[in-house]
Amino acid sequence: MDSAYETLIHKVSKLDQEPGIGLLHRKIDANLSKSVREAISLSRNAPAGPPPLCSICQHKTPSFGNPPRWFTFAELQLATGGFSQANFLAEGGFGSVHRGVLPDGQVIAVKQYKLASTQGDKEFCSEVEVLSCAQHRNVVMLIGFCVEDGRRLLVYEYICNGSLDSHLYGRNRNVLEWSARQKIAVGAARGLRYLHEECRVGCIVHRDMRPNNILLTHDFEALVGDFGLARWQPDGDMGVETRVIGTFGYLAPEYAQSGQITEKADVYSFGVVLLELVTGWKAVDINRPRGQQCLTEWARPLLERDAIDELVDPSLKNCYMDREVRRMMQCCSLCIQRDPHFRPRMSQVLRMLEGDILM
């Protein structure tokens, strides 16, 4: 994979030569001013840097528009305290993630891949390529990377409040209030809309949209993360993958059956995430009774009947906005259509969640 790394480094280095890179691909939402992560004014009175991502943690937010930086392994060792257990965040099939702090005070998350493998190399290169060209307030920002002596590490901005998965299903979780669920759905939808429809390099298909890959601040701002399986999707391309990659329970039927991948596969997966937000159920749970183990199959007839009382998470104890729940249920129903042509685009999903489209 040496040639692949050389190609990757060449592509990333070219970003330094592109004027105004941040301004070209930072899309500004109409409601941006309502978010903690606001657009930076270009006026003379602009602040020295972007506001903190989380109003509680007040961690420094990396500036948009900078290409990813090449770190040395020694720099990342220093930042993470030698990848100490005290800074350990998570571990998965890819490797481990540690918290760190750079000399300028920037708090980071460092993903260290396991020993080199063909699949690991592909995922590493994919993530660097995608995130080098995709910067949005609802997409986790790649600050830099390290390729040194067989080691491969990615450096992200640190998102302080874990994943959506931990808030829905973690052992010591508190009940996730409906207002937080609604805000998370809207934030994640904005991130996916950007990837599909607004990124300057064209459509990016995430291919692994699920609660583990939606990271949260203490303000419940949602950021889409983990782009190891992402791929470019030229307009009209229905490329067939040699093998289906993703997470069971979130795979769109057409992708699982034939390997055909378009952005509508992400829409399906996002519909499953919305169902999880409404019901509090996992996408797949073998501990549930027969007929209820697959969330989408159990929920489809209930969505058709608009059976809100049977679908809504009982832990909410009726503390929710009825119209918002019904809107989210309608989005679920449309997103998990078996035929991808009947699924909405993410811009339409976002407008439905925000109540801009009457259904």
Which positions are annotated as active-site residues?
208
Task: Return the closest-CA partner of residue 213 out of 164, 175, 168.
Answer: 164
How far, CA to CA in Å, does 101 sit from each of 41, 105, 216? 27, 6, 19
The side-by-side arrangement of strands in the sheet containing 151-157 is 69-70, 142-148, 151-157, 107-113, 95-101, 88-91
End-to-end Cα spacing for the chain: 50
Q: Is 187 helix (H, G, I), strand (E, B) or coil?
A: helix
Distance CA 271, CA 328 (A): 9
Strand 69-70 and strand 142-148: pairing?
Answer: parallel
- Residue 126, C-beta contacts closer than 8 angstroms, at least 6 positions apart: 227, 228, 229, 230, 231
Phi, psi of 222 (to 5 degrees): -100, 135
Q: Are strands 214-216 and 95-101 parallel, antiparallel or unpaired?
A: unpaired
329 pairs with which residues across the strands?
A: none
Helix (H) or strand (E) run with residue 203 in it: strand 203-205
> What is d(CA 238, CA 259) in angstroms, rounded to the nearest whole number?
9
